[in-house]
Structure 1
Amino acid sequence: MEISKRVEPLVRSALDAAVKRDFNRLDAALKVFPDDQAVKDAVALALSVTLYVLRDTHNGKPSEQETEAVAVEIARAEPWAQATQAEVSTFLRKLVNGEPFADELPSESVIILAFVSAANLLASCHRQDEEWWDYLDRAEAAIESA
Structure 2
Amino acid sequence: MKINSQVEPLARNAIHAAVQQDLAKLRAALRAIPNDQAAYESVALALAVTQLVMTNIHDGKPSEQQTRAVAAEIAQAEAWAQVSEEQVSNFLLRLVNGEPLAQAIAEEHIILAFVAAANLLSSCRRDSEEWWDHLDRAEAALEA
Q: Taking structure 1 as the reference length, what is the TM-score of the superposition?
A: 0.95
Aligned-residue offset at 1:101? 4.3
SS in 1 for 2:47: helix
Aligned-residue offset at 1:106? 5.7
CA distance in 2 between counterparts of 1:99 and 1:35 reads: 24
Tell me how many residue pairs correspond in the alignment.
143
Aligned-residue offset at 1:100? 3.1
CA distance in 2 between counterparts of 1:100 and 1:140 reads: 20
Report the equivalent of 1:45.
Answer: 45
The question of 1:91 aligning with 2:91 is answered: yes
1:111-130 deviations in whole A, cap 9, x for unaligned? 00000000000010000011
Q: Which runs of 5+ in 1 are unaligned?
A: none
Report the equivalent of 1:7.
Answer: 7
Q: Which runs of 5+ in 2 are unaligned?
A: none
CA distance in 1 between counterparts of 2:9 and 2:136 reads: 12
CA distance in 2 between counterparts of 1:14 and 1:101 reads: 18
CA distance in 2 between counterparts of 1:124 and 1:80 reads: 16
Report the equivalent of 2:126.
Answer: 127
Aligned-residue offset at 1:109? 0.9
Q: Which amino acid aligns with 1:140?
A: E
Q: Which runs of 4+ in 1 moved over 6 A?
A: none
CA distance in 2 between counterparts of 1:34 and 1:6 reads: 11
**CA RMSD between the two structures:** 1.4
Matches within 5 A, 1:1-146: 1-101=1-101, 107-145=106-144
